[in-house]
Amino acid sequence: MRDVAEAFAEPVVKTLGGVEVKFHPLTFGILSQFEANAEREFTKAQQAETTRRLGEIAKYTEGMAPYDRGRLMLQLYDAAPEFNLVAAMGTIKGSLQLLALAAKACDPAMTEEQMGKLLPFDQRLVESLVNELTPVATESAEEVRQEMVMQARRRLESAIDNAETGGHKATLEGVRSALEPLYEVTGETVPAKYGGPAVPPVEPASA
């Protein structure tokens, strides 16, 4: 788990357009404010788009039976996309708003308009800054080791699957044997599919 010092990290200082700007690492408060603003704008835009589409199809629904017209309207509403926070953060406008909020946490006078003038026209740089402000929980050495073991195991399992599919069975025995120590590390049993013991059939209960 992250310690207290890391949780309350110091602001990230960047020079943008010749101006030194301090950004507060992203917090639940900053993200919740961004989410509320982004979802409100998304909903407003969706309502406007739905109204536009209703106007477009109005001429086609004239003379339709009320049931058919109602069903068409429901299909239109059901087809509307739902708000996605991660997608909203990844847009140019979303990144701008998020960085403006992070800077505002350090300097209340900062506005979205000012941030827009300071940020360079470089989407990769902006995304990099957002990533830098996103706290990442540190992993212990054991967690890192376990993850590496899992990745190695998945690669070997994939190699076995591909070899069987492609008919290259000569190397399967060696690959299967390499799986055993990886499963031992995680305390699991090698599945029968990869050369482990077959699960004995369940005996029917005696009458």
Q: For 3-53, how does the pLDDT look when each residue is reduced to its tens digit (9 = 90+)?
A: 434 445 678 888 888 889 999 998 888 888 999 998 898 888 888 887 787
Asked whether residue 173 carries a pLDDT value surpassing 70, the answer given is: no
Check residues 124 and 115 and name the one with the higher pLDDT: 115
pTM of the model: 0.54
Model confidence over 184-200: pLDDT tens digits?
777 778 777 777 776 55
* Percent of the chain's residues with pLDDT above 70: 77
Query: In three state form, how does the secondary structure of the chain look?
Result: CCCHHHHCCCCEEEEECCEEEEECCCCHHHHHHHHHHHHHHHHHHHHHHHHHHHHHHHHHHCCCCHHHHHHHHHHHHHCCCCCCHHHHHHCHHHHHHHHHHHHHCCCCCCCHHHHHHHCCCCHHHHHHHHHHHCCCCCCCHHHHHHHHHHHHHHHHHHHHHHHHHHCCHHHHHHHHHHHHHHHHHHCCCCCHHHCCCCCCCCCCCCC
Is the predicted pLDDT of residue 106 greater than 80, yes or no?
yes
The residue with greater pLDDT, 9 or 115, is 115
Residue 169 has a pLDDT of 54
Domain boundaries, the chain: 4-133, 141-194
Is the model's pLDDT at 104 over the cut of 90? yes
